[in-house]
Amino acid sequence: MIKKCIVLFLSFALLLGVFPILNVDAANRPLAKISGNSNPLMDHKLGADPYSLVYNERVYIYMSSDRYVYNNDGSIKDNDFSALDRIQVISSADMVNWTDHGAIPVAGANNKNSGRGVAKWASNSWAPAIAHKKINGKDKFFLYFANGGAGIGVLTADTPIGPWTDPLGKALVTHSTPGMAGVTWLFDPAVLVDDDGTGYLYSGGGIPNESDPASIAHPKTARVSKLGTDMISVVGSATTIDAPYLFEDSGIHKYNDKYYYSYCINFAGTHPTQYPAGEIGYMVSDNPMGPFTYKGHFLKNPHTFFGVGGNNHHAVFNFKNEWYVVYHAQTVSKAQIGTGKGYRSPHINKLVYNTDGSIQEVQGNMTGVAQLSNLNPYTRVEAETIAWQAGITTEPTQATGGPVSNLDVTNIHNGDWVAVGKADFGSTGAKTFKANVATNVGGNIEVRLDSETGPLVGSLKVPSTGGMQIWREVETTINNATGVRNIYLVFTGAGNGNLFNLDAWQFTPNTGGNMGTKVEAENMNIGGTYAGKISTPFDGVALYGTDDYASYSQYFANPTHNISVRGASSNARTAKVDLVIGGATVGSFYFTNKTPTVQTLSNITHATGDQEVKLTLTSDDGTWDAYVDFIEFSL
């Protein structure tokens, strides 16, 4: 973390280059995470000093709560770390779709977090580390954090997302803890639970004397402490880790029975080439308490990859038999305010070992990692599960049925959207889409595939529910959603304020073998000379001229259906609408007056598989129009 050396860090950034101020992205466009990329992990909020936990086939990322701090004139000031009093949590089963679990209000001293802070003695919660251990047969989670540079605290919970309690009511480790004397900055914890269940806590950083080359080269301010079986006590005296050119950011992981201690190399003085400033170096030992031997470095300073420097902070983890490193970079803040100003966001890239156990240089980028598994759209999906987004934020919600720390998506304006990657609809596809919403205003959710302007497969009208935390589930039909596709929920509506809040969504599968038994005309593609959408006498489509049409694609498992269309004529004259499936005209509908009626063609034979369904106006002399509400198929 950037603590006492902010001036040094900013100077380093200036030395690395001067960067132009970028324009803030317009609403409805992604800020920093472009569709298809996996980095940064999120761009609707910030998060620094990431640490990982793998549990129950999910990876959880815990972060310091970087939040913009403002000058009196409303401009964003350089990060002074005064907002680091919470810990942000996100998780994913596939490394692309990340669920926002919100912020843990850790610091509680001096009414921090509006009196909700769990650790009433702590003024800060910097650089979290997390561990899981079974104690007396029960899962327990231990969240370590730094109270500034003065010590390490710990919170406990029965789940990875809380609720959290403070078991000690004070710091676990301070400068008076045996072996901690001489630690300049007592912060940046890392934790390892070894195969035998023993826990080890790593911490420390800083240079005792920055004018002394020997102190710069060997600060000797890193420590490792053995934890008690309860994970909230220390055993014996801490051991010094002589990490060359140490600055901060302890990391620990185990690979092939070797213990890898990694850290951020300092910026002071002149370094030998094997200790590059601001990069992640690593040491190896046969024992978690050391001694450790320096082996090299594997992650360059973020400036190398993203054009904005600062400190380096990381954690190494294994997920589904692949190794990764999570780290932070100022990519979101750079996209929003230009130079970044010290505000950071989480990234993940793959980490690769050589056969001798050395680590290859990690290539940081915005592309990130590939999605490891498909998302199931037929189970409840929290709206705050996001791969990509434009314009939205999240907030704690009163909606029921979600996780312990449930959020909703809010700050929704016309044209904003959220998306998830690789949802598997299967071969028969989705029948309906439902969402839990709350609003005073209302609006619409367009369900699109592949992009925010991709094929429209459904449109959900969101009515007023009577309040922004008064929740109601609404549902609509879906057509032509099969296979593995990215889902984009595009929000539309009138007005400039928040249209509605979205808690969760879910599709239902088409069990009858056909996609979408009923399709609303306003969700179809329209073409011809004059075709357009209407709201009277119903929400639908008007076919004004000969060969105007409304069409869509549908999957048919069965070759014969009864097919109904609801429609009307603009006057007393008869409007003829031909039904074309797969290029073949299979029948016609005749609407003779302004009153909407449903007409049915029985036992119509047509092609199977994916086919274009088209309703085409014929024989128009310019004095009447055909209005179409919906088409419906039944066996």
Co-location of 597 and 471 in the same domain: no
- In whole angstroms, give the CA distance from residue 117 to residue 453: 43
Q: Is the pLDDT of residue 3 over 60?
A: no
Query: Domain for residue 367, yes or no?
Result: no
Mean pLDDT value across residues 309-337: 97
- In whole angstroms, give the CA distance from residue 579 to residue 585: 6
Domain hosting residue 435, numbered range: 381-509
Per the annotation, the verdict on 612 as an active-site residue is no
Structural domains counted in the chain: 3
Lowest-confidence region among 249-253, 484-488, 529-533: 529-533
At 516 the pLDDT is: 54
Q: Is the pLDDT of residue 98 over 60?
A: yes
> Is there a contact between 3 and 149 (Cβ–Cβ < 8 Å)?
yes
Co-location of 209 and 302 in the same domain: yes
Query: Domain for residue 427, yes or no?
Result: yes
Query: Domain for residue 418, yes or no?
Result: yes
Co-location of 385 and 290 in the same domain: no
Co-location of 493 and 531 in the same domain: no
Q: What is the pLDDT of residues 458-506, one digit of tens each?
A: 999 999 999 999 999 999 999 889 999 999 999 999 978 899 999 999 9
Co-location of 186 and 330 in the same domain: yes
Query: Domain for residue 369, yes or no?
Result: no
Query: Domain for residue 603, yes or no?
Result: yes
Tell me if residue 358 falls in helix, strand or coil. coil
Query: Domain for residue 207, yes or no?
Result: yes
Co-location of 537 and 502 in the same domain: no
List 43, 49, 279, 522, catalytic entry = 49
Mean pLDDT value across residues 83-98: 98
Average pLDDT, the chain: 92
Domain final residue, candidates 439, 474, 509: 509
Q: Which sign, positive or negative, has the C-alpha torsion 449, 452, 454, 459? A: positive
Indicate which CATH number applies to the domain containing 201.
Answer: 2.115.10.20
- In whole angstroms, give the CA distance from residue 133 to residue 142: 8
Q: What is the pLDDT of residues 189-220, one digit of tens each?
A: 999 999 999 999 999 999 999 999 999 999 99
Co-location of 334 and 402 in the same domain: no
> Is there a contact between 626 and 591 (Cβ–Cβ < 8 Å)?
yes
Query: Domain for residue 318, yes or no?
Result: yes
Distances in whole angstroms, Cα of residue 389 to Cα of each of 97, 338, 412, 495: 11, 20, 11, 20
At 272 the pLDDT is: 98
Mean pLDDT value across residues 109-122: 96
Indicate which CATH number applies to the domain containing 621.
Answer: 2.60.120.260
At 31 the pLDDT is: 93
Co-location of 392 and 476 in the same domain: yes
Co-location of 260 and 398 in the same domain: no
Mean pLDDT value across residues 126-134: 98
Per the annotation, the verdict on 286 as an active-site residue is no
Name the pairing type of β-strands 560-569 and 126-135: unpaired
Co-location of 483 and 613 in the same domain: no
At 622 the pLDDT is: 52
Band of pLDDT at residue 237, cut at 50, 70 and 90: very high
Lowest-confidence region among 63-67, 165-169, 457-461, 623-627: 623-627
Co-location of 569 and 501 in the same domain: no
List 94, 248, 548, 629, catalytic entry = 248
Co-location of 460 and 585 in the same domain: no
> Is there a contact between 516 and 510 (Cβ–Cβ < 8 Å)?
yes
Query: Domain for residue 1, yes or no?
Result: no
At 623 the pLDDT is: 56
At 621 the pLDDT is: 53
CA-based nearest residue to 611, from 590, 592, 586: 586
At 554 the pLDDT is: 78
Q: C-alpha angle 616/621/627, rounded to 5°?
A: 45
Look at 610 and 463; give whichever has higher pLDDT: 463
Strand order in the sheet with 417-424: 388-390, 417-424, 484-492, 443-449, 456-462
DSSP 309-350: -----EEEEEETTEEEEEEEESHHHHHHHSS-TT--EEEEEE
At 115 the pLDDT is: 94
